[in-house]
Chain A
Amino acid sequence: MHKEVIIIGAGPAGLTAASQLLKIGVEVMLIDRNDLVGGQLTKQTHMFFGSEKQHASKRGIDILTMLDEKLKQYPNKLTVFTQTTVVGLYNDKVVTCIKDDRYFKLSADAIIIATGASEKSLPFENNDLPGVYAAGAVQTLMNVYGVKPGHKVLMVGSGNIGLIVSYQLMQAGVHVVGLVEAADHISGYLVHASKIKRLGVDLWMNTSVKKAIGVDSVEAVEIWQLDDQWQGIPGTEKQLEVDTICIAVGLAPLTELLQQIGAEVVYIRELGGNVPRVNKHYETSINNVFACGDVTGIEEASSAMIAGEITGIETALKLGYHVPNHTAKLTQLHCDLDTLRQGPHGSKIRQGIAKLGVQL
């Protein structure tokens, strides 16, 4: 099967890219390995930040419904493959997939890689015990499937994911015994931290996990304080009775497919690790292969949605489509992205983009 554009990954970036392309009149195939489209939006029960343009004050799950409805307006131009894993990507824009034990080949004029990111792990003794889960994974378990991960949870990491998932655990009726952060300050939005602190969740800075305790699953956790070299201080150990340890220590871009086709990938710590070297049109070093969303650098979903829109328009232009007022539209979108990246929380992404050396 051949389509004009194949988008790999139907999260916030992939969906908005698709929506822009469809509006312009380009045929799109969306592929996702999950059984639901939406990526992280499927479980984001909290209200978004930003301005009205980024649907601020709306919950992620409701933003997904809106995006979904936009896509439904183009039944003849859009094909969606869920539960489909892309296993191969080739330079001649051939994509090989597996769905329901069937292996098949697709091809396109342009490909957009919007594979997102995966949650990092943290090294400590027994970190492989069942009960040690990525925080975002626990969010999925609760908010998509309605299942609690356990009864008592220690959260590791004070970024927005750690703070938000702590709150959402409480909303699901799970006891959060505390949150540890290796750094000396809270790294996410303070409003999120205050929200759980005022409900009795303690946030321990300069603290990390020494080990998980348990035979076949987590029964307790030992935490300890860290010195200014981030080393554990013997004698400061404290044991907490928990059955779940949530790891929220950051994300790493999922660039495997890009590396498979030999797209240039650079390591930029501030962007989360290996990221494709894209130009200002979000095109990778391979002609007609674009990338957007967390795969190009870890940010909030609101930024991913704008980057997706830009990439959708840029891809259409590259394929020779006429896009009315595209210069003005792109300028506005870039300006919106810049705004989201201002302020103290945007400093990391600003530094990362500076290292990449393009105007994203």
Chain B
Amino acid sequence: MIEKTGVPTRTQILKEFPDLIVLKKPKAIIECYKDIPCNPCDTSCPFDAIHVPQDINQRPQINFDKCTGCGVCVYHCPGLAITVRQIKADKAILKIPYEFVPLPQKDAIVKVLDRSGKHLTDGLIKQVRINESQDKTAIITIEIEAKHIIEAMTIEVPYGS
């Protein structure tokens, strides 16, 4: 249970996903499982795809028809709770927010972790993006096998080294 472990249940996770067919195009997956007063995902979205109700304590709603998977919300979310996911043939492309140093290098093979921090699979770094507007939150694009599209969440960080 997420209130005890920090890990959402599979049912909770699946509720945030569209039908996998929709993920032929990149889409933002918002994993904000509890009401908190917050709305930068809504105000930062250039395509008006994310909506937080008048009471900003309520959870964001995403319109997958409008979402282009641009990733602007990914680095604006103070909870780092948004990823962008896409299925390309037998590969899944995952864009994650990343706030650690050193940044991974393009073409490196990295350990991909699930929501409980377990090593799920290995992934290939396709892109590392960091610019002024991202305010120090890098966006890392990782390629993994398509079957991990739902479970994959982040990559191993170099802490403690």
Residues of A at under 8 Å CB distance from B? 46-52, 56-59, 62, 151-152, 169-171, 173-176, 184-186, 189-203, 205, 339-340, 342-346
Contacts and interface: CB of A to CB of B under 8 A. Distances in A.
Given A62-B135, A189-B36, 9 more contacts: A50-B56, A51-B40, A57-B77, A173-B160, A189-B34, A194-B6, A196-B6, A197-B117, A345-B37
Interface string B103-135: 000000000011111000000000000000001
B33 to A, nearest CB: 5
B78 A194 contact: no
Contacts of A46: 78
A139 to B, nearest CB: 15
Nearest to A49: B38
Nearest to A205: B4
B35 to A, nearest CB: 4
A50 B79 contact: no
A51 B159 contact: no
Given A194-B2, A194-B7, A197-B7, A346 B37 contact: yes
A48 B6 CA distance: 20
A197 B40 contact: no
B31 to A, nearest CB: 7
B114 A342 contact: no
B49 interface: no
Interface size class of B (residues with CB under 8 A): 35 or more
B161 interface: yes
B57 interface: yes
B76 interface: yes
Contacts of B58: 343
B157 A191 contact: no
A343 B57 contact: yes
26 contacts: A49-B78, A50-B37, A50-B56, A52-B39, A52-B40, A170-B100, A173-B160, A174-B160, A184-B4, A185-B3, A191-B36, A191-B79, A193-B2, A194-B8, A196-B6, A197-B115, A197-B116, A198-B115, A198-B116, A199-B156, A199-B157, A199-B159, A200-B156, A201-B117, A343-B36, A343-B37
Nearest to B135: A59
A57 B76 contact: yes
A136 to B, nearest CB: 18
B145 to A, nearest CB: 19
B55 A342 contact: yes
B44 interface: yes
Contacts of A171: 99-100, 159
